[in-house]
Structures are given as C-alpha cells and as structure tokens.
Chain A
Amino acid sequence: MELWNWIMDLLPFEWAGHGFMRSALLAVLVIAPLFGLLSTMVVESRMSFFSDALGHSAFTGIAIGTILGLVEPMWCAVAFAVVFALLFTYVRRHTQMASDTIIGVFSSTAVALGIFIATLDGGSFTKFNALLIGDILSVETGKIGLLACILLLMAVLWVGSFNHLMLSAVHPALADSRGIRVFWQEALFCAAVAVVVTVSMTWVGLLVINSMLVLPGAAGRNVARNLRQYHLCAIVGTLVCGVAGLMTSYYLGSSTGACITLYLAFYFALTLPFQRRRS
C-alpha cells in the first residue's frame, strides 16, 4: 500500500490526492483482470444468463446473512451463491430441460426468497438499494487485499484447468471421452463465478455486474482468432474501460459501475465491425 501511495504521489492529477480515489483505482486494477478472465469462459460456455442469475442469488444471500445477525453477511452470500451454482449445475446436467428455463426457475426463486426475507416483519427494502448500484469509492484496503487473493486464486485455477474447462464448453462429448469430468469442471467454474460476483457486487453494483462478465468476452470474440488474442482483448479491454470509467465517474459524479459498463458497451460496438471481416 505504501508503494501504491508513493506511485500515486508521483501523478500530477488532482484526483490522485484523494485517499478514496487511490483505493478505488487499485480496486479497479484488481477487479478488471478478474472479470476479464472470467468473461472469456462465461461467453464461451454460454453462461451470461447464468451469471446474471447469480447476482440475484447473491442479494438473497446477503438478506439471509442480515437476518441471521452476521457481522459480515457477505460470507453468507458467498456460501449461498456457491450452493446456488452447484445446484444449478446439477439440475442442468441431470434433467432434459433447456438451461435458460432452469436459470429462469432458479433466478426467480432466489429473488423471491430474498425479497421475502428482506421484507419479513414489515422490513424495508431500501437498505439493500446500495447493493443494486454499488459504490467503488467505499472500498477498504483490506477488501482490495481479499480481491487480490481471489485474483491470484483464479489465475491458479486458470493455469490448472483452463484446458479442460474450454474442452468441456466447446465439445462436452469429446471431453468426456478423453477422461475429463465435465460435470466437475462446470461446477468448479460456476462456483468460481459465484464467489467473484458475490465478493465484488458491493462495489460494482448488482444491476451492472453482469455486464462486466459478458461484454469483455463478447468484444474479444469479435476480433480474436485464437485463445491468446481472446484473453488479451478481454483483459486489456476491461482494464482500459475500468480506469476510464472510474475517471469519468469522478469528474461527472455518476456511478462508477455504470460508467465502466458504458465504456465496455462502447468497446463492444467498436469491435463489432471486425466480426465479419475475420472470417
């Protein structure tokens, strides 16, 4: 952190003098590669609707944690989201239903349960409003450390099982015949997305968090010819859009999550014309 402050002191910008902006920038620099990395597989395994549903379940987890009187309801939300993810993977693999139907069922149930618990005994929903929009300026140094640990963990997961994850997504039958346990690969990945979404939703905001899991991958897909270009486009794109979004939100006073999302959408629009030229 001292090193970070020293770097910030060198910057000639006005915003760099604020402690909250220093933390926020650091948080963005950690969150962006995390989401960029995950987005490549979210898009590749067609799980964008699923990650959206996860956000909803995360809110329900917070509501349960609050009613249990936990000091840190986030951990309850993480546990709930992981259970949600595993249950979803199980149901999807063991029934004949289309996965969007199953996601619809799970997502609406989770939201209803969350609202039910939050409004129990005439409780007010407004205390959860902050979660919907998110506030990256409220990030604490300890939480950045936690996010950095998760980023490291994801990098390890990626190095260790990306090959199997990708084969399971691209061609499950073939992966199966080569001894890859497709179900566990999917479950592991769903659980990873669940943890990342839940831990970071306080800062990014539930309503826009899914965009960070979809847009970088979608944009990368438009231009990439192989997996290295794909990862590069997704991660660099998220980093640039993340920093740009933070700056814009500082000068205009709007929500950071929303600014980042708008930049990502612009990035996607820029890459769209390349899609046809590639093939």
Chain B
Amino acid sequence: MSIHKHGTTGPGCAGSCCLKVEDLGVNFGGEEVLHHVSFHLHCGEIVALIGPNGAGKSSLFRTVLGQIPHTGTIQFQRAGGDKTRPLIGYVPQSPTFDRGDPVSVLDFFAAAVDRWPVFLPIPKKLRERVEACLARTHAEGLIDKRIGTLSGGEVQRVLMALALEPLPHILILDEPLSGVDIDGERQLLDMLDEIRRTYDLSILLSTHDFATLSQYADKVILLKHQVLRVGPPGEVLDSPEFKEVFHLDLGRGGER
C-alpha cells in the first residue's frame, strides 16, 4: 500500500501500530461533551469524523492532542509494541489570519519549526529547509506571500506542510474542507491520499462534506457526544443512525 516507509528517518509503523481510544469521556463545567468514546486508528488509514455542530468533534481532537483533561484511556501502540506518546500533526479549524499581518509564509513557518528569531535576516539554510517542507504539499511557491493574502486552500496547504514537520505518526485535520472551493477540495483530497501513501501515517479529519467521503475515507465515525456508528463510508451513510442525526431521508450525500 505504501510507496516507501520512513523507517529510520521518521516515525515508522508497518500498519501494525495504532491509536486506541477506550471509553473516553470529557466534561466541560458539568456538561458531558463526550462519553464512552472508543475507536481505533490504524496506520495509513484515513478516518473521517462526522456529526452535527456541537457534537464534540473539535473537543475529541483537542483531547487526543492532550489539551483537555479526560477520563478513559488514549493509547498509542508502535510497531515494536512500545507505548509512547505519538507525534501528532494538527491542522486547526478554518484559521483566519488578519489580512494586514506583515507575516510572510516563510516567517510563520520558520518561527514554528526553528529557534532562529525570524525578525532577523533568515539564513539561507533555514529558507531551504522551509522550502523543502512546503514542497511536501506543493506550497513552495507561496513562501514569500503574506499569510493574510492566502486563499482558503492555500492556507490549508501551508498548515498541512507545517503539521508534517516534524513528520508525525498521526495527522489531525479539523474541517480541512471548509472555506475551500471545489478545485481546492479536489487538490486537498488528492494531497491527503499522497501524504498517506508517502509517509504511511494515519489521518483523522472532521468534515461536513458527505458527498466525497467514499472517495477517500477508509472509515467513518459518526459522533454525537458518543460514537453512534463506525464503519466504511457507505455503511455509515446508509445507516438509520446517520439519518436520524441529520434528520434526512435522502441518504448519502444529502447534506450540502
């Protein structure tokens, strides 16, 4: 399935490693946001998280990222059986940059991946490193643009390149398709597939776009405070739980 594995150069997992979430619960000030959430995420797999707004998708991501206290367990199992915290690349939801920000893609990227203070002239080596990282998502041409002037799809590409440095075990994308036009969506989905194949990592994303789910997702999780249904895209989209949650009788691809 994978073209080449990272092996010694990065976190490697020959399909046998996985993220195990068992009986996860999250409380916000007495309100139960998530309860009894369990699922597995395997290497090289793209898993889509769907559910209505306020279902706890972003909270689930932030819990996996270790930003919110929770009950239950989140375990990461490497190929060798050794259990350590996984490296997680995170692309936050519809990031909005101020149009006037005097911050170029190079500034932004270099500040996140290196200690060199970016208000000083940037060494050639660092620039080349940033360029190489951006090339992973075909965004190297954007390096001197200001982040405020990027389109929705371009922002996603830059943030995705950033999430891939250092190369993570798991890539989490919070609604990567919102604010992206149809061409941009096609490009992003192709790129996700390319990334998954090239780096053999697991991708967990949330989306409201059900029409394209079956083209790229290996597994779909229907979430509304708890896991209502897990399975291949077709199965989940045809399930009675899906219809009930989204109040439709149209079946797959109905919303949006």
Contacts and interface: CB of A to CB of B under 8 A. Distances in A.
A and B: bona fide binding partners: yes
A93 interface: no
Given A163-B112, A166-B111, A176-B67, A275 B100 contact: yes
Contacts of B108: 167, 170
A225 B112 contact: no
Interface in A165-203: 166-167, 170-171, 173-174, 176-178
Contacts, number: 89
A174 B102 contact: no
B99 interface: yes
Contact of B104 (A40, A44, A159, A227): A227
B43 interface: no
A95 interface: no
A158 interface: yes
A228 B121 contact: yes
Contact of B112 (A173, A178, A220, A224): A178
A162 B104 contact: no
Most buried by A among B65, B97, B118, B122: B118
Contact of A279 (B111, B112, B149): B149
B142 interface: no
Secondary structure class of chain A's binding surface, majority of residues = helix
B120 A228 contact: yes
Contacts of A56: none
B95 A174 contact: yes
Nearest to A176: B67
A225 B65 contact: no
Interface size class of A (residues with CB under 8 A): 20 to 34
B99 A158 contact: no
A226 B95 contact: no
Interface residues of B, number: 36
A22 interface: no
A174 B119 CA distance: 20
A247 to B, nearest CB: 29
Contact of A173 (B92, B115, B144): B92
Interface string B74-97: 000000000000001010110101
B92 A174 contact: yes
Contacts of A275: 100
A220 B102 contact: yes
Given A177-B65, A227-B103, A170 B118 contact: no
B146 A231 contact: no
B102 A227 contact: yes
A222 to B, nearest CB: 8
Nearest to A163: B111
A230 interface: yes
Interface of B: 65, 67, 88, 90, 92-93, 95, 97, 99-104, 106-108, 110-112, 114-122, 144, 146-149, 159, 162
Given A177-B67, A221-B102, 7 more contacts: A158-B117, A163-B111, A173-B92, A177-B92, A221-B100, A224-B102, A228-B120
21 contacts: A44-B101, A159-B120, A160-B117, A163-B111, A163-B114, A163-B115, A163-B116, A163-B117, A167-B108, A171-B92, A173-B93, A174-B95, A174-B112, A174-B159, A176-B67, A178-B112, A221-B101, A226-B106, A226-B144, A228-B122, A230-B119
